[in-house]
Chains A and B, each alone.
Chain A
Amino acid sequence: MILETKKLVKEFGKLLATNAVSFSLRPGDIHAIIGPNGAGKSTFFNLITGYHLPDSGQVFFKGQDITKLPPYTRCRLGITRSFQITSIYPKLTVYDSVLTALLSHQKATTHFFTSAKKYFKEEVWQILEDVGLADQALITGDSISHGDKKRLELAVTLGTQPELLLLDEPTCGMSPEETESIMTFIKKLVDEKGLTILFTEHDMGVVFGIARRISVLHQGTLIADGTPEEVRASEEVQRVYLGGAA
């Protein structure tokens, strides 16, 4: 197991956002977390990446207890995330944004006197080619299209060369064509680079099209966990969430 949580609990006031969630993720999987709005998907993500600390329970990454580690240490261990609301660098160029991630991952950020432009040229261009942003490399992040910002965020997360990538609604606000191409790309990452992907998504077409395993959250509780077929067949999931739509 690359990631495991044990009886993870997080309360906000009286709201039980994560209710004793025990969950495990196999290396090389594309794993979706689904559930209605307010089911606790984002909170669960935040507990894994260290944005929030749980009230009780534990998180393990490759067998190591990371429950109390700060976000930057988890990133150094190989967990990187994207955000639901696109989180980019508005005034940095696309090239520099990806370069920043590589500098951080390669521990070059305490080099004080060499020009940053000299670092990781090939790696940055490779990532930009991969996500299809090479032709916009010298434009600032705030002046590219919404779909491209999502790609940029993906490019930046790839700059940290993660083993586990958490994507919070990676296709939110994208056109069907853009969604298609980003999903193909994510599949390629898993098949060719051996990444493990955990993602949340509203679009059930995307979820059932790409996920190899699916977990369903409802009011903070994990109510189903299995292959897409198993989840689709689960009566409880039908009742609380899918409602016959899928």
Chain B
Amino acid sequence: MGKVQTEEKKNWLKRGWWLFLLIALGLIAPQVISEFYLLILGEALIMSLFALSFNLLFGTMGQLPFGQAAFYGLGGYGMAMLLTKYQANFWISFAAGIGVAALIGLLVGLFCVRLRGIYFSILTLAFGQLIFVIIYKWHDFTGGDDGIQGVFPPEFLKDPVAYYYFILIIFCLSALILWRIIHSPFGYTLQAMRENSERTEFLGIPIARYMLMAFVISAAFTGLAGALWAPFYRSVAPSTLMWVKSGEPVMATILGGAGLFFGPVLGTFLLTFIHAYLLGFTHFWPIIMGVLILLVIFLLPGGILGFIKEKWDNRQKQNQKP
């Protein structure tokens, strides 16, 4: 019994250092990097939260949703419409964004959790596009292809550095909650469903109900990311709900590694920063991204972080031997 415990504690000390380092880097970033890259960093954090929520369903539960952008966009639209059309308080609008995403997540989820595998992916894609089209076409209510402009954060968050810290705090809190969910009995149940759903059902787990719970949690955190995005960008556009946007967390997660909690974060950071950097030279950046993803799929099937962890674990083992 004691063995597992002490091993866990040792691991935490050994593996935790880089997390503190990263948080420290995040805190001093505004003093070190230019405003342009600070904005890119803010975007990377928001998209990382999007990717982490996605990976609760993909990496942990083993189902690939392909319509998550709908919840991201709904989070943004929910907050932006309440804020601009009804002049609601910023925080109420913010919470409403999350609420709208979670509620629509529940409705869509009720249908999607009946299916598994590719059928699940296709149905989520179909619902995602349906929501996109509704928002895109319903000009009177949502502003259609004009989107919604003038989504301003409250006075004390208007400064880019202040809003960056706001994003950082929300990101860290959300990541902590998602981490705890994945390592909770509920998270273990999702992993068991991924590994062998038949076995798990015969252990007394109603699979569809647990899929639905995970789906709503994922939609809520995705909506939170969208609600962070709208005031950051000062507007929302229907393109945030489109299937192309749904592909971003998929690619980031595959690039970074779906099997590790921070894999999607690493993948998102790489994609966002490479994108920002290369746009200065060329419009052909999707080609470079495509090559990068191909290389990772063929050479590092566990993703970049999965590869690093494997090397690291092997080194630890060799150090322990003599």
Contacts and interface: CB of A to CB of B under 8 A. Distances in A.
Nearest to B190: A109
B1 interface: yes
Contacts of A70: 201, 206
Given A72-B205, A104-B189, A156 B184 contact: no
A89 B195 contact: yes
Given A92-B192, A125-B1, A119 B204 contact: no
A80 B189 contact: no
B234 interface: no
A19 to B, nearest CB: 25
B158 interface: no
B24 interface: no
A116 B185 contact: yes
Contact size range, B = 20 to 34
A121 to B, nearest CB: 5
A103 B210 CA distance: 14
Interface residues of A, number: 44
Contacts of A96: 188, 191
Interface string A130-162: 000000011000000000000000001001100
B181 interface: yes
Interface string B149-172: 000000000000000000000000
Contact of A100 (B177, B184, B203): B203
Contacts of A49: 202
Nearest to A81: B202
Contact of A160 (B4, B203, B206, B213): B203
A186 interface: no
Interface string B179-203: 0110111111101100110111111
Contacts of B199: 83, 87-89, 156
B195 A91 contact: yes
B146 interface: no
A116 B180 CA distance: 9
Interface in A105-141: 105, 108-117, 119, 121-122, 125, 137-138
Contact of B204 (A83, A104, A113, A138): A104
Interface in A47-98: 49, 70-73, 75-76, 80-81, 83, 87-92, 95-97
Contacts of A101: 203
Contacts, number: 107
Contacts of A21: none
A123 to B, nearest CB: 11
B204 A87 contact: no
A81 B200 CA distance: 11
B8 interface: yes
Contacts of A30: none
B184 A159 contact: no
A113 B206 contact: no
A60 B187 CA distance: 34
Given A89-B196, A112-B180, A125-B1, A100 B188 contact: yes
B204 A75 contact: yes
B183 A109 contact: no
A183 B170 CA distance: 56
A80 B206 CA distance: 15
A121 B1 contact: yes
B145 to A, nearest CB: 39
B214 to A, nearest CB: 11
A97 B184 CA distance: 14
A115 B184 contact: yes
Interface in B196-224: 196, 198-207, 210, 213
Contact of A114 (B184, B202, B213): B184
Contacts of A119: 185
A92 B204 contact: no
A39 B95 CA distance: 60
Given A87-B196, A89-B192, A103-B189, A113 B203 contact: no
A99 to B, nearest CB: 7
Contacts of A97: 192
B52 to A, nearest CB: 16
A73 B8 CA distance: 35
A92 B184 contact: no
Contact of A109 (B181, B185, B195): B185
A113 B205 contact: no
Given A72-B207, A101-B203, 8 more contacts: A49-B202, A72-B202, A72-B204, A72-B205, A92-B191, A103-B185, A113-B184, A115-B183
24 contacts: A71-B201, A72-B201, A72-B202, A72-B203, A80-B203, A83-B198, A88-B196, A89-B195, A91-B195, A95-B4, A99-B188, A103-B185, A105-B203, A108-B185, A109-B205, A111-B184, A112-B186, A113-B184, A114-B180, A117-B4, A119-B185, A121-B1, A121-B4, A122-B1
Please list the 8 inter-chain residue pairs (A to B) with the smallest Cβ-Cβ separation, ordered nearest first.
A75-B204, A89-B195, A109-B189, A103-B185, A116-B188, A100-B192, A108-B185, A104-B203
Interface of B: 1, 4, 7-8, 177, 180-181, 183-189, 191-192, 195-196, 198-207, 210, 213
